[in-house]
Amino acid sequence: MTSVNSSRKQFISMFKESAKKTVVLPILAFLCFIFFSLNNSIWLIDRFNYEISPFFWDELRSGGVTNIAGFCFIAAGLINAMVLFSFAWSKKHSNVIFSLGMKRKDIYFAKILGGILPMTVSILAAALVETICYCSFELPLNLHFIGMATLTALQFLAIYILAFMLGSAVFSNVGNVVEGLVFTAILSVFTIVFRIFLENLFWGATHGASVITVFDLNRANFNWSMPFLAFYDFGDESFMNMYFDTFEPRNLTIFHWSGIICAFVYSVVICLLGYLAFRKRKNEICGTWGRAKVMNEVAGSATAFYAFVLISQYIFYSDHGDAHVSNLIIGLVTFLIVSIIFKLIFGYKRRKEIKNTFKKFPIYVIGFAAFFTVFSSGLFGYSSYIPDTTEIEKVTVASTNHIFMEDSLSTSSEFALFDQRIYHTENSSISLDSSLNYSYYVDEFYPGIIFSSPEEINKVIKIHEKLISDGKIKNSSADSVGASIEITYTLKDGSICRRYYTEATESLFKELLLLDDTKPVEYTLRDYLGNNENFGKFTSYITEDNKIEGYVVDLTTNWFTDTYHDSGLYAFNKASMLVSESYYIFPKDMSKGYWFGNADDELFEAIYTDLLNLTAEQYYHHSAEDEIGVLSFGLSSSMTIEDDGDIIYNYDDLSEGEYASASWNLNSYDIKTVLITKYMTNTIKYLEKHDLMKYFENQFDIDDIKSVKLATPGELYGENYRSKCLPIFYAAYWTGKQMNAYKSMYGDNMNHTFENIENVVTDKAKIQSLLGNSVLYGFCSNKNQIMEITYVDGSTATVLVK
Amino acid sequence: MIKISNITKTFDDFTAVDDISIEIGDSSVYGLVGYNGAGKTTLLKMIAGVYTPDSGTIEFDGIDLFKHPEKKQELFYVPDDLHFGLASSMKSMARYYQGYYPNFCMDTFNNLARLFGLDVNKKIMGFSKGMQRQAEMVLGLSTLPKAILLDESFDGLDPAKRNLTKKLLLDYMAEKGCSIIISSHNLHELADMCDHIALMNGKKIAIDCAVDDMNGSRCKFRVVYSQNVDKNLFKGINFKNYKADGKIVSFTVSENLEEAERIIAQSNPLLVERFPLSLEEIFLEEMEDTDYDFSKLFS
C-alpha cells in the first residue's frame, strides 16, 4: 500500500470516527426539523383553507422559536467542536492521536469535516422533507421559493459551522476546557465590538463621515458584524411576509444573504487560522493552564481591545462627545491594565508574561495611533468625496434618528419624535444598527427620498458640501442636532457612492427640511397620504340633518386625555384616519376635547390638500399666532354613545393597571393628530362651513395658570440628548387627575423631566408673553426653551417657546 | 533503524533533552535508563511524534519522521498513561487502529488476545491496570510494527504475563527484525531483555553501549590487605564508590581494567576479587547515589 493511499485511508478513518462522535446532535436537529415540518403541514391545511399562504419552516421561523433554534445550533457547533478536539486537553489522548502516522493537517481537517458533514446532511435532508411537504399542497415551487428555502436552510448551517469552526480553532489550541470556553466566548463577540469601535469611536475616526460605511455595503444593511445572528432580520414580520404570506414576491437582496456569506467567510478564515496554530501547537500544553501562548495572546489582546472600546466610549459619551487625545490615552492605559489582569489570570509564568506585555505595548500603541491617524485624516479623502454632477443619475437622502417610547412623564417622547406629515415608522428592520445603539426604534424622518433632476441633485450636493465643511461635529457643541444623514449617489455607470454622517448642525438640518418643498418630497407625501384604496368610499355617520354636533369632553375628569398626550401630534395618514370612527377638536391650550362622529371625505380631502401644500417654512417654522388647534382621530374606540348623546367612558370602570395598558395600546397605534394652522385654508374652510371653528377657543386663561417652568432641551434631557433626538418638537398635556395618578403610582420614581428645573416664572405678564410665543409643533433649536405650564387644577402642558 | 541526531527539547526554560544522538538498529532491543525526569519519556514522545523537538532530526529507516509522519504507521507507541475510548472494547479499539495502521492484522489480534486470555468484547475500562497494559500490547503488536516504543510498559504486569510479554517481544523482534525501545526503571528486566542500553543522566546520554560491552568494561574490585591502607595507594586508577572497611577495600573501575589490575597487584594485596557490575550498580555508579546524614535530616 502506498503511503498516499494509507494516508487517505487514515484521513477517512479519522473523518468517520469524528462523524460518529458528532452525529447525535445532527440526528436530533433532523428530528426537530421533521417535527416542525409535520406541524407546518397541519398548518398548511389551515392556511390553505384560509387563503393564507405558508412558507418554508413556518412554525420554526416564528417568534421566539427562531431565537431558540439559533441558540441551539450555536451550542451544537460548540459542543461538537469540544467533543472532537477534547484530545487536545488530555495528555493520554493526545499521546494516541499524535503518535498516529498522520499529518497534523489531516488530523485537523478530518475532524473539521467530521463535524460539519453530518449536520449539513441533516439540515439539507430536513429541508428536502419540508419542500416535499410544501409541494404536496400543490404550492408553487418557483425560484422565489427555492431562494427563500435555500436561505433559510443555509442560515441554520452557517451559524452551526461558524460556531463549530470557532470552537474547533480555540479548543484545538488550548490546554484545558476552561480556557477553551472562556476564549471562545471572548472571540465570538469580536466583530460586534469591532463594529462598535468603528461606529462609535468617531471622535478619533473619519472627518465627518462615519467609518462604518467603509465596511457596510449598504449602511447597516450588510450583516458583517453579527454573523451569529444570521436569523436576526427574519424576526421582522415584514420580511417573513415578503414572499410567502403576501404572494407578492420580492427579490432577496445581498442584505438577506449577508449574514450567511459572512458566517461562511469567517468560518473559512477561522478554520485556516486555527489550523495554522494547530500545526505549530506544542503538545506539552495538554492539561496545563496558561501555556497555550498563541490563544492566550489572541484572547488577551481581544479582551484588552474590548476594554479599550468600552472605556473610550464611556468617556466619550460622558464627556459630551468631545474628542480628546486623553480619551485615546485612557483607553490605551485600560488596554494595558486589562492585558496585565488577563495575564495574571491566564498566564503561566506570569511575571515574565507581564514583562512581555509591557514590551509589546508600544506595538499596540503604534497600531491604534496608525488607525486613528488614517481615519481622522478623512480616510484618504473618503469622507469628503462627492461625485461629479455630470456622473450622477440620482441621489437618495435619508435621515434617521431614534425614538424613545416612554409611557410616563420621562417625556423623552414629548420631544421631537414624530412628524405628522412625513413618514413615521418604528422601523425595526434596521435592527442591526439600532440594537447597537440601544434602541429598537428608529425613526425614518426621511425614509429615502430620491432626487433626480439636476436642480434637485445640486440642492443635495450643497447640503453634502456643508456636511463636509462642518467636519467633525462635537456632540456637545451648541449647534449640533441628532440627525443621522445618509446620502447615496447612484452614478450613471450603475455604481453607488454612499456616505453616512452621524451628526449635523442646526443650520444644516434646516436646509435639509427645505427639501420638503421639492417635488420628490411632495410625490412621496402624496403617495403616503393617499394610499388608502378605500378613500372616497367613506360615508359619514352622524349627519342626520346634515349637521355635525360637537360633544364637550371634560378632560379634567376623564382619562382619555392621556392618550392625547402620549400620541402627541402623530403622523397624519388618511388610511389610519379612515379606520377610526370619529375625531376630536382640541383648542390650542389642549384643555378640552370636543368629540365628533365620523369624519367625512370632504374633511380628509381638505387636510390632505393642505398638508401637501404647506411649505417647509409654514410647517416647521410657523409662529404662535399661526396655530389654531388640533384635530385628533382615533380616540373613540374607548367610548360608546347613548341615545341621548351622552358619552360613556369605558375607562372609568377600569383599574389603574388596566388603564395604563389600554392607554399604551391606544397611543401606540390608533391616534393620529393634525395640527391646524392658518395656512391650512381648505381645512379651515371646512371647519367654518360646519361651524366648528368655535371649538378651538381656549378654555384656560392666564388666571388658571399656577406656574411656568422654562428649560432648554439640553437642560431637560442632558447634553447627550442631541445625538438621540431630531430637533422637532410636539406638545403634550396631562390632566390633574392623571398627574396625581402618576405620582401615586410611581412616587419618587416618577421620572418627571421638569422636576429639577429651577427656572420658574410666576409673573403673569411674562407668562402671557411666553404663551404668546408658544407653539405646539415645530423646529426646536438647542437654544429654544420648552415651557411646562402647571394649571391651578393640577393639569400640565408642555409647549415650545419660539 | 531509528536514528536520532542532535535532538533537543526544552519546556520553557527547562531543557529536558539536550543534543542527544543515538541509533537503534533493526532487530534490537534498546533500553532507556535514567532517573525520574531524566528525559526518557520526552525522548520516546519525540520519536512517537507527540512532542516536536526544538532541533535535531529523528529518522526511521532513513526517513525523517517529522517531515513524513506517515512513516509512523510502522511504529507503535505504548505510553505510560494508556488511553482508550470511553466504553471501548478491545475489538472496537482494534477496529479503530485498523483505520490508522495499514498493517494491522485482525488474525494476529485475535491470536494474541487469546494468548493473553483477554476478552475482546469486554469494556477495557473494566480491565485491571495490568490487563489494560496487556490489551495495549496486543493492539500494538497487531499493527505489525517495525518499531515499538514501550514506556514503563511492564508496570502492573504479573510475573507470568511479564515473562510472556518479554518472550513475545523478543520473538517478534527476532522474527520481524523489529526495533524495540524500552524505557524502564526495572534494571534487572532491561538487563535480561536489552542488547543495548542508553543511560540518560539528565538531558544527556551518559552511557550508550551494548550490554555485553558494558559488562566487560566495568567491574568491581574487592582487595584485602594485611594492614590498613591509604586511598592514595590506588593513584593511577580512575575508581568510583571507594569504600574502606578496615583492611578490606572495594571500589568500581570503568576503564583500563588491566592497568587497574596491575596497580592493585603492585600494592601487595592478600586477596584480590573482581566482580562484573550489574546494571543497577552501573546505574548507581553513573548517577552517583545521593548520600545523606539521617540525624541531620530528622534533627
Q: Is A773 helix (H, G, I), strand (E, B) or coil?
A: coil
Facing residue for A284 by CB, picked from B11, B72, B76:
B11
Least confident of A100-109, A362-371, B66-75: A362-371
B102 vs A contacts (CB less than 8 Å): 1, 6, 9
pLDDT at B48: 95
pLDDT average, residue stretch A174-186: 95
Contact at CB, A98 and B96, closer than 8 angstroms? no
CA angle B256, B260, B265 (to 5 degrees): 150
For residue B196, the cross-strand partners are: B30, B210
pLDDT at B45: 95
Q: Mean pLDDT across chain A, nearest whole number?
A: 73
pLDDT at B2 over 90: yes
Least confident of A387-401, B202-216, B229-243: B202-216
The counts of H helices and E strands in chain B are 10, 14
State pLDDT tens for residues A354-402.
999 999 999 999 988 887 777 776 667 777 788 899 999 998 887 765 4
Q: Is B240 helix (H, G, I), strand (E, B) or coil?
A: strand
Percent of chain B predicted with pLDDT > 90: 56
As a whole number of angstroms, the distance between CA A516 and CA A178 comes to 59
pLDDT at A669 over 50: no
pLDDT at A675: 81
Residues 6+ apart with CB under 8 A from B99: A9, A10, A12, A13, A14, A16, A17
State pLDDT tens for residues B88-102.
999 999 999 999 999
* Chain A positions touching chain B (beta carbons under 8 Å): 1, 3, 6-7, 9-10, 12-14, 16-17, 90-96, 98-104, 282-284, 348-349
pLDDT at A438 over 70: no
pLDDT at A183 over 50: yes
pLDDT average, residue stretch B62-68: 92
Q: With both helix axes pointing from N to C terminus, report the angle between A601-613 and A519-529 in degrees, rounded to the nearest 10.
A: 160
pLDDT average, residue stretch B41-48: 94
- For chain B, how far is it from start to end, CA to CA, in angstroms? 54
pLDDT average, residue stretch A465-469: 86
Facing residue for B82 by CB, picked from A92, A102, A349:
A92
Facing residue for B81 by CB, picked from A13, A95, A99:
A95
pLDDT at A531 over 80: no
pLDDT, greater one: A398 or A158: A158
Assess contact for B233 and B187: CB atoms under 8 A.
no
Assess contact for A378 and A687: CB atoms under 8 A.
no
Contact at CB, A100 and B100, closer than 8 angstroms? yes
pLDDT at B72: 92
pLDDT interval class at B285 (50, 70, 90): confident
With CA atoms as reference, report the closest residue to A782 among A503, A483, A478, A476.
Answer: A478
For residue A486, the cross-strand partners are: A398, A500
Other Cβ atoms within 10 Å of A524 Cβ, number = 19
Chain centre distance of CA A636 = 32
Burial A451-472 (b: 16+ CB within 10 A, else e): beeeebbebbbebbeebbebeb
pLDDT interval class at A214 (50, 70, 90): very low
pLDDT at B206: 82
pLDDT interval class at A547 (50, 70, 90): very low
pLDDT, greater one: A725 or A305: A305
Facing residue for B51 by CB, picked from A7, A93, A283:
A283
pLDDT at A638: 47
Contact at CB, A17 and B99, closer than 8 angstroms? yes
Contact at CB, B51 and A103, closer than 8 angstroms? no
Contact at CB, A94 and B75, closer than 8 angstroms? no
Facing residue for B81 by CB, picked from A91, A283, A284:
A91
Contact at CB, A13 and B100, closer than 8 angstroms? yes
Residue from A90, A96, A278 to probe the interface with B (highest B Cβ count within 10 Å): A96
CA distance B157 to chain A (A): 20
pLDDT, greater one: A299 or A194: A299
Full strand arrangement of the beta sheet holding B147-151: B75-78, B147-151, B179-183, B28-34, B196-200, B205-210
As a whole number of angstroms, the distance between CA A166 and CA A178 comes to 15
CB pairs under 8 A between A and B: 81
pLDDT at A692 over 70: yes
Q: Which stretches of A243-378 are DSSP H helices?
A: 254-280, 293-318, 325-346, 350-376
pLDDT, greater one: B201 or B105: B105
Other Cβ atoms within 10 Å of A57 Cβ, number = 26
CA distance B98 to chain A (A): 9
B87 vs A contacts (CB less than 8 Å): none
Amino acid at B134: Q
pLDDT interval class at A636 (50, 70, 90): very low
Closest residue in chain B to residue A3, using alpha carbons only? B70
pLDDT at A230 over 80: no
Facing residue for B50 by CB, picked from A1, A13, A283:
A283
Residue from A284, A288, A352 to probe the interface with B (highest B Cβ count within 10 Å): A284
Assess contact for A155 and A257: CB atoms under 8 A.
no
pLDDT interval class at B292 (50, 70, 90): low
pLDDT at A727: 77
Secondary element (H or E) of residue A451: strand A442-451
Residue A181 has which C-alpha cell? 470556553
> Which 8-state DSSP code applies to residue A666?
I
As a whole number of angstroms, the distance between CA B170 and CA A756 comes to 95
Secondary element (H or E) of residue B11: strand B2-11
Assess contact for B133 and B140: CB atoms under 8 A.
no
Residues 6+ apart with CB under 8 A from A164: A76, A77, A78, A80, A81, A112, A115, A116, A119, A267
B180: left (phi over 0), alpha (psi -120 to 50) or beta: beta
Assess contact for A726 and A481: CB atoms under 8 A.
yes
Residue from B47, B80, B81, B83 to probe the interface with A (highest A Cβ count within 10 Å): B83
A13 vs B contacts (CB less than 8 Å): 96, 98-100
Least confident of A207-216, A556-565, B70-79: A556-565
Assess contact for A529 and A572: CB atoms under 8 A.
yes
A95 vs B contacts (CB less than 8 Å): 45, 48, 50, 77, 79, 81, 83
pLDDT at A323 over 90: no
pLDDT at A534 over 50: no
Q: Give the C-alpha distances (Å, rounded to integers) separating A36 from A60, A69, A242.
A: 6, 12, 21
pLDDT, greater one: B199 or A797: B199
Facing residue for A284 by CB, picked from B51, B70, B96:
B51
Contact at CB, A98 and B101, closer than 8 angstroms? no
B151 vs A contacts (CB less than 8 Å): none
CA distance A32 to chain B (A): 28
pLDDT at A697: 86
Amino acid at A661: S
As a whole number of angstroms, the distance between CA A85 and CA A78 comes to 11
B12 vs A contacts (CB less than 8 Å): 348-349
B96 vs A contacts (CB less than 8 Å): 13, 17
Residue A273 has which C-alpha cell? 487560522
pLDDT interval class at A529 (50, 70, 90): low
Assess contact for B45 and B72: CB atoms under 8 A.
no
A101 vs B contacts (CB less than 8 Å): 69-75, 100-101
Q: Give the C-alpha distances (Å, rounded to integers) separating A69 from A59, A229, A296.
A: 11, 11, 31
As a whole number of angstroms, the distance between CA B229 and CA B246 comes to 8
Contact at CB, B72 and A100, closer than 8 angstroms? yes
- For chain A, how far is it from start to end, CA to CA, in angstroms? 92
Residue A590 has which C-alpha cell? 389642549
pLDDT at A203: 54
Residues 6+ apart with CB under 8 A from B233: B267
Percent of chain A predicted with pLDDT > 90: 27
Residues 6+ apart with CB under 8 A from A260: A151, A154, A155, A158, A230
Q: What is the ipTM score, two decimals?
A: 0.87
Contact at CB, A102 and B69, closer than 8 angstroms? yes
Facing residue for A101 by CB, picked from B12, B70, B81:
B70
Least confident of A143-152, A470-479, B55-64: A470-479
pLDDT at A257: 80
State pLDDT tens for residues B151-197.
998 888 999 999 999 999 999 999 999 999 999 888 888 888 899 98
CA distance A80 to chain B (A): 16
pLDDT at A403 over 70: no
